[in-house]
Structure 1
Amino acid sequence: MNNYHKWTKNEEDIFREAIILYQFNLEAIQSKFLPHISLKSMKNKYYQRIHNNADIKIQIKCQKQLLDSKKEDEVYNYIRNLITE
């Protein structure tokens, strides 16, 4: 069985934003935003694009600080809007 998933730009954006909200809780990210993507694909994407990329890690840290000043439901709605684009 082929588990490879070709990520779209929109899916990558959603995933990056969801990582800010849910950290490495891939099950929550999958169930709320990307149910069609396997946990294995998410784990691979995380380690390919985020874990080893200092620029993205800095961006996530900065956005996490901004998130702390907002309500979780506002961020959730923001990510949901990305899904509908």
Structure 2
Amino acid sequence: MTEEISTQSGNTRIHVTKRGIYTSVTEIVSVHLPIPLLKKLDELVEKGYFQNRSDAMREAIRRLVRDYENPRYTFTVG
């Protein structure tokens, strides 16, 4: 059984999903994206790489954070 609860306090919107013993608490954010980029994102969802836009965005942000925290290359100037 899945139970979902959404609440808003000021500008913060929180979404809680309960599935058995697993509980996920997320904050809902709005993002402005160029239409061509959004279409590419939707293509990835349609091809089955992700369940929905939110899953795709979460994975993109995880990879971005990982890349910044663990740079593969170090460049020195001069």
TM-score, length-normalised on structure 1? 0.29
Larger fraction in strand: 2
Q: Which has the larger radius of gyration?
A: 2
> Which structure has more RCO (C-alpha within 8 Å, separation ≥ 6)?
1
Greater fraction helix: 1
